[in-house]
Structure 1
């Protein structure tokens, strides 16, 4: 386990202790200045005694973990990404591109004991924080790999039940994933009833065109919902042929899922139905052109 370098947070709003991937002899003054002018090149953690937060820059918080309940999903967008359970309640194989602070890994590992999860993260400095964020060790049900998510998907075996994409750099959505080839590979690697789920955050320009590419690859079988609390959108793309949600049944099933997982699936289902009827995915795709 790494021993992070600690210094008091220099930020006005984000209070607590800053944890850095630096040696003990690093100069606190230099580090503080680089954090403040956003030239510090590595991901860092802020611990306020209640939660731990992963940042690439102080303007773009990547992940939040409650110290009292580390397996819970603290951010609303991560909760909404789990809405795939409405359509695929018993996944056996989950792939996650973009590790961050590991919120989705912890939740799925804890709550979905029948699923094997592979997480692919490009930045080794993000993986270096895995113990700080209490991620379980690699084993029969979990594998965390350092590598390019798009390259991993090109070579992955077919039959992925759920592909979760939560991949960002300092500028926003990972540019290597915002292209037609990625979505065609995603479609090819998913199982027959597989689901692709993408967190879209940051400046809209950073993911302009992503929704349109998803709709092209998945034959318009795409739902997009907003996450006002976090300023994000979440995209769901469904491989199943002639995908037709049974909304009345899903609203009933959402109550069962809420009892099992403690997430507001009823609200998720309502929002997804409304977005479908309003054609939100197509409207957002046209805006990205």
Structure 2
């Protein structure tokens, strides 16, 4: 158990309480000032109204958890990242780069009992806050690893059915996770029907080059899904460049997933189909 201190939120626009990984007896007023001016430099917890959020700064919410239901996905981008289940409803091996507040880890651990999940997180402070976000202890199905995601993918000995990348920090995606070499290596680690799922956000000019590298490494076998409410894009890249989703068959899968997981999988399937159609049109007009 890591030491945490708690005090009322210093942010007038965000009431509640904050929790910090600081020892008892710390200078609360100095910490409040650093939180307000953005110089604190470590992840912290902000809790209010039944929700608990992981922040790197007030303006950057990494994850949100409903305290009464830790496995429910609150943010639109996290909900849409689960659309990989439309392509592979029962992955055996899943690797997640970026633990964050653990919402996707909790969701997958609860709802995919046949999946082994390895989560790689580079920030030890984020891992230290896992209990605040009800991330289960490591067991035979779940492992949280302190390390570099790019190194883990390079050294992984087996095949990965789903590789999920949600590793944004205050400065965006780490360059090691957005290089052509990483994407090429990641594709090589995927199983024959494997899929890479990546969250991209921020200024389009900032991440456009990352998207182009991903398209090149995966021979254009990529579908994009927009998340208007969060301003994100979710990218799905497939090991098999000739993979052609069976959209009519997928609708039945989407309805079953919606009943079981209470997310709008039929809507996700429609977005994905439109995304592929748009990509094909752009490719033909190029």
TM-score w.r.t. structure 1 length?
0.95
Does residue 108 (structure 1) correspond to residue 108 (structure 2)? The answer is yes
Gaps of 5+ in 1: none
Q: 1:282 to 1:170 in 2, by over 3 A?
A: farther
SS of 1:46 mapped into structure 2: strand
1:147 aligns with 2:147: yes
CA RMSD in angstroms comes to: 1.6
1:175, 1:206 within 8 Å by CA — same for their partners in 2? no
Shift, 1:82, TM fit: 0.4
- Please say if 1:38 is aligned against 2:31: no
CA distance in 2, matches of 1:203, 1:144: 30
Deviations 1:258-285 (A, max 9, x none): 11211110000001111111228969xx
Contact 2:218-2:241 at 8 Å conserved across structures: no
3-state DSSP of counterpart to 1:131:
helix
- Post-superposition Cα deviations, 1:59-93, rounded to whole Å, max 9, x if no partner, equal 11000000111111111111100000000011010
Using the TM superposition, name which of 13-22 and 190-199 deviates more: 13-22
Encode CA deviations 1:80-132: one digit per residue, 9 max, x unaligned: 00000000011010000011001111000000000000000000000000111
Query: How do 1:228-243 residues align onto structure 2 when only pairs under 5 Å count?
Result: 228-243=228-243
Post-superposition shift, 1:49? 4.1
Q: Name the CA distance, whole Å, in 1 between partners of 2:30 and 2:120.
A: 32
TM-score (structure 2 length as normaliser): 0.96
Show the counterpart of 2:192. Answer: 192
Matched residue, 2:273? 273
Correspondence 1:215-234 to 2 at 5 A: 215-234=215-234
Deviation at 1:7, TM superposition (A): 1.4
In structure 2, the CA distance between the partners of 1:282 and 1:65, relative to structure 1 (3 Å rule), is farther
Contact 2:220 2:241 in 1 (8 A): no
Q: Any conservation in 2 of the 1:187–1:239 contact (CA below 8 Å)? A: yes
2:97 corresponds in structure 1 to 97
Cα offset for 1:138? 0.4
Corresponding residue pairs, total: 284
Secondary structure (helix, strand or coil) at the match of 2:6 reads: strand
